[in-house]
Chain A
Amino acid sequence: MEKLFLRGSEALALGAIDASVKFYAGYPITPQNDIPEFLSRELPKVGGKFVQAESEVAAINMLLGASACGLRVMTSSSSPGISLMQEGISYLSGSELPAVIVNVMRWGPGLGGIGASQGDYHQATKGGGHGDYFVPVFAPYSAQEMYDLIIRAFDVADKYRTPTMLLVDVMISLMKEKVIRRFEKRSEVKIKSWAFGKVKEGEQKIIKSLYLKGNDLERHNWKLYEKYKVMCEKEVIYESYLCDDAEIVLIGFGMVARIGKSAIDIARERNVKAGLFRPISLVPFPEKELEAISKKCKKFLVVEMNTGQMVHDIQRVLGKDIDISFYGKPSSYAPTPEELFYKIKEQI
């Protein structure tokens, strides 16, 4: 296992290559450009195809075409570009086509800004496109997780025939740290019997999302929902840090959790019993695991780099009897560990 010193974005792109990605299409947008730059250089070396599309709209639809042919496909973009891809994500879901979409978040609404943001939680987790579907979403908090989670995102996408998303903080994308390349000699992806092969094999294959006859659409939507229910059982990932004896638990995802962990360490040094709970899969959300913690701990502090989005999911899961406070930073300036420690102290 190779030990590397990589930026988060490079770790992610390398992970995609180790996951046998064979097709990338994307459109330039800050702050995710180093992902397509890496893949335009490295993909051809492993027999993959890189296309710079004319727009994010075209990019996501190129993925739809290549995914229908059974290739592992991905794109990356940043918030405004992801908005443009929502149509395609809805079609990928409806057509049951696997694809991995990386959103290195920046500010909105509108042109917003290019600094660190967690403003796209709702868009990512509640479905930005039309229709009744769920997209599994993972939030990495280190370069290592950029590598690991993109591989997981490809596996989950194939397993459930669904698009999956990595919701990435720009700080995690730009930070350089140690990465262990666990899957360097990954075997080839299994042949997908539903996909278009080198020639037509047996019966005609039709990949579509239009269902006009009888109850076909209702059956199709329930089928998508059943897949989501299975994901809720099998694909939840989270980290719980020093929560067992905690009097207060900080909840955050991505970079907030990374900073939060340092805040917890400061708290523990000063004998403040604080813990950290971090959803790694935002969809499916670690509901049972969070509920279990709330059996012992009655105080929660939710921190996000927005005006409060994930906090609604926490309130939904924990109910009204639990004391949930919120600290939001809808700016490009991330909270410091000390700042979060003082927020924790204010609550107890």
Chain B
Amino acid sequence: MKVVYKKPEVLKNVNFHFCPGCQHGLVHKIIAEAIDNFKIKDKTIAVIGVGCGVFLYDYFDVDSLEAPHGRGLAVATGVKRARPERIVFTYQGDGDLASIGLAETVHAANRGENVSVFFVNNTVYGMTGGQMAPTTLLGQITTTSPYGREFQRDGYPIRMSEMLATLEGVAFSARVALCTPKQLMEAKKAVKKAFQMQLEGLGFSFVEILSACPTNWNMQPLEAIKRVEEEMIPFFPLGIYKERRVSDVL
């Protein structure tokens, strides 16, 4: 009998705690598949930001370190400098990476730290109950923008993938989504590419994953997926913003 599908080996036999329709589980799975693909389970260290993804170590059978809110990439810098032979990734949300940890993110990227970053953008602070995030779309209602985000008062949503792509230290920057099978395939490719960049020592690799948060968006799961397609993707276009090759750094 031919095996056509199986649970990634690096994932433990436990159920995810995520809300119905949340896409963190899917993001976990594609990262896990990439770890299996490169057979790097025993080499990998996960640096986990504060947010809904904080329990990643309950699901991934890899050495794991919890970072203070926003400090993931400073912590990852310490880990990778101390253990360059290991594969280091951070898992961070939009509040963590793009707001409180923006300085740590930009400077780790600019130093070209050889780590991979998985950035889950769902336009809200999920774990704290749906407050306005730096990526919240204009007009979007959250618990702290009850009249909708307004640029005169709240500024604009931040496009991280484009911003980081301008930095010399960044080897790979891409934005993906998980709404259709095609997008999922692209997302898997991007996550694999991020690890590959690190394995080749090319520098900072960054994948932004647009993700649905039905609970905090007050939506049914399918409605939430539709919102990603219709509202998020037009503002946060999918694609590869930077891809360095080995020959570029020789």
Query: Which A residues have a C-beta under 8 Å from some C-beta of B?
Result: 22-23, 25, 49, 51, 53-55, 57-59, 61-71, 73, 87-88, 91, 95, 196, 198-200, 204-210
* A23-B82, A204-B62 known; A199-B42 Cβ under 8 A: yes
B:35-65 near A, CB below 8 Å: 41-45, 47, 54, 57, 61-65
Bound CA span A63–B71, Å:
11
Interface on chain A toward B: helix, strand, loop, or mixed SS? mixed
| Nearest B residue (CB) for A23 | B82
Contacts of A64 in B (CB 8 A): 65, 67-68, 71, 74-75, 78
Say yes or no: B79 contacts A198, CB within 8 Å. no
Bound CA span A57–B74, Å:
9
Contacts of A25 in B (CB 8 A): 77-78
Contacts of A73 in B (CB 8 A): 78
Residue B138 at the chain A interface, CB threshold 8 Å: no
Say yes or no: B86 contacts A196, CB within 8 Å. yes
Residue B162 at the chain A interface, CB threshold 8 Å: no
A57-B71, A205-B64 known; 13 new pairs, CB 8 Å cut-off, are A58-B74, A58-B104, A62-B81, A64-B78, A65-B47, A68-B65, A70-B82, A71-B82, A199-B43, A206-B57, A207-B64, A208-B64, A208-B66
Query: Which B residues have a C-beta under 8 Å from some C-beta of A?
Result: 41-45, 47, 54, 57, 61-68, 71, 74-83, 85-86, 103-104, 107
Say yes or no: B78 contacts A63, CB within 8 Å. yes
Contact of A23 (CB < 8 Å), options: B81, B85, B86:
B81
Say yes or no: A66 contacts B78, CB within 8 Å. yes
Interface on chain B toward A: helix, strand, loop, or mixed SS? mixed
Say yes or no: A65 contacts B57, CB within 8 Å. no
Contacts of A65 in B (CB 8 A): 47, 65, 67, 74-82
Tally of contacts, chain A with chain B, CB under 8 A: 122
Bound CA span A23–B82, Å:
7
CB distance from A28 to the nearest CB of B (A): 15
Say yes or no: B103 contacts A66, CB within 8 Å. no
Bound CA span A51–B75, Å:
12
Say yes or no: A23 contacts B78, CB within 8 Å. yes
* A54-B103, A206-B57, A210-B54 known; A62-B74 Cβ under 8 A: yes
Bound CA span A235–B155, Å:
52
10 closest A-B pairs by beta carbon, nearest first, are A65-B78, A61-B74, A69-B82, A208-B66, A66-B78, A62-B78, A54-B107, A61-B71, A65-B79, A58-B74
* A25-B78, A200-B43 known; A210-B103 Cβ under 8 A: no
Contact of A200 (CB < 8 Å), options: B54, B62, B65, B66:
B62
Among B68, B71, B74, find the residue whose CB has the most chain A CB atoms closer than 10 A: B74
